[in-house]
Amino acid sequence: ITPGSEIVYLRDGKTATISLTGAGGATTIATNGKPDAVIQMSDGPPAADEITMILAGALPLALHPSPGKVANIGIGSGLTSQVLLTSARVDSLVSIEIEPFMVDAARLGFMPRVEKLFSDPRSRIVIEDAKTFFAASGTRFDMIVSEPSNPWVSGVATLFSDEFYRQAVRHLEPGGLLVQWLQIYETDIAIVVSILKALSPHFSDYHLYNVDDSNILVVAKKDGLLSDPDPGIFTEPALQVELKRAGIVGLEDITSRRIGNKQLLDPYVRASPVPANSDYFPFVDQNAQRFLFLNRNAMELPGLTVLPLPFLELSIPEWQTAPLAAVPEFGRGLREEHSDRAGRIVASVASDNLAFVPGKIGSAIIAVGAPAETCASSGGWRAWRAAVQMLSRQTSAMLPYSELRPLWRSIESSPCYMAAEPDDRRWPDFLHAVARRDREAIISFSQELLREDASTMGREDLEYVLAAAGASLYGLGDRQRASASVLAWAPALRTDSEFDLAFRLLAASGISH
């Protein structure tokens, strides 16, 4: 219990001890002392959990055109059920909860914030184990939302198993979606891989979405490919209120959270020496607590969205970057912070006003415009190129090229660039191709760089070139070359590189199954 918090509810139920505590206007519901959900019930920004619970309800509404019948596993605070019921397109919602006192605590602690769960005629609460409910029910749903607690909590891992996914898909209508909340703090990527290996055979497609850099949502489709989120959700007034509460004010605030799809992730998942999580071979149950004790995490997954090159866009051409709308401080993850910084860099260059950026970045902008004689020496040229690299790494992946043009006009009209020999321009031209998402040019320049400059290239630069080239080859459909390009340089690559997961995905992409 947090110091200063007040216990307002404490009951020993059939399956767990349920408690409610309050502190600073926030109410926390917990199972056996482990917090399951926190909502800010007074004025002020939302608790971090609210953003996850709002997205768990809003995201499937954005991805399914006709979400008539919905099931939600695990009531928690009731907020995800509340969000689902804000949509008039939902005809019925059954919320499945194993512990009766969880329902009582949610009613006591979070009303009127979750009023629709308890008063909406479309809402029905069922006290039952989720697997038992589905086994006894012949109902099929358009969407099933699963919000289990952390996988390391006793008994929870069965909601991430092969058997659960086989059962769930039988209870989905054609085109139906399963949405599952997965915590990636206090775990390891091996746990995520084991879960995806259990899920993948039962669904024709899946996407991973980053929520807040420590939680992800897995969205899996029974048949067909997942579509882009529908901007129509922003026309539903009650849902729009919830989205704004989570700092989501435009479609790009959802699409920018995409981490990967089945096509990109599955070869790596299949090749990983980790078994599919199963009720009979419970890899998650047997290992999750060990990874918790070792203080491990799977943060490299959302890390794919903030790499210093547009890795996901180059790999998945249909996923294009859009400028993020300004969001409140509480809705900001790493990508939002990086996008804001990139926008300020471009604005500083376009307006010739360094007030928008910190001193180090301002110095790089000044260095780009240095007189030609400054770059006449090898040291001066290296300093100019380093300034271009810094600005490129902090902007190219965060903004569409339409917004990056002022920066690259400034670079290519600079005295140093204009006076440079063609060979010296190769590196800035390569970075410009990355900013344009020009896969053919990236591949061509990377081949030249690796052929001519590899012996003098630092490891960080080498990894950048290989990641950009591999992603471009993959995005053009040449997965064998994408894999081979990474494997050929594997001895030179660091396992602690920011591109490590990207390299593992590319290397696995050429493996036949």
For residue range 459-488, list pLDDT tens digits in order: 999 999 999 999 999 999 999 999 999 999
For residue range 287-332, list pLDDT tens digits in order: 877 887 777 888 999 999 999 999 999 999 999 877 666 655 666 6
- Residue 512, pLDDT > 80, answer no
Residues across the chain:
513
Give the helix ranges, DSSP H, for 76-186: 79-85, 100-110, 115-119, 130-136, 162-170
For residue range 250-294, list pLDDT tens digits in order: 899 999 999 999 999 999 999 999 999 999 988 988 887 788 777
Taking CA 20 as the corner, what is the angle to CA 18 and CA 25, rounded to the nearest 5 degrees? 160
Q: Which residues pair with 69 in a beta bridge?
A: 92
Helix (H) or strand (E) holding 427: helix 422-436
For residue range 341-350, list pLDDT tens digits in order: 999 999 999 9
Amino acid symbol at 450: L
For residue range 124-151, list pLDDT tens digits in order: 999 999 999 999 988 999 999 998 766 6
Residues 6+ apart with CB under 8 A from 363: 387
Residues 6+ apart with CB under 8 A from 342: 394, 395, 398, 399
pLDDT grade, residue 404 (50/70/90)? very high
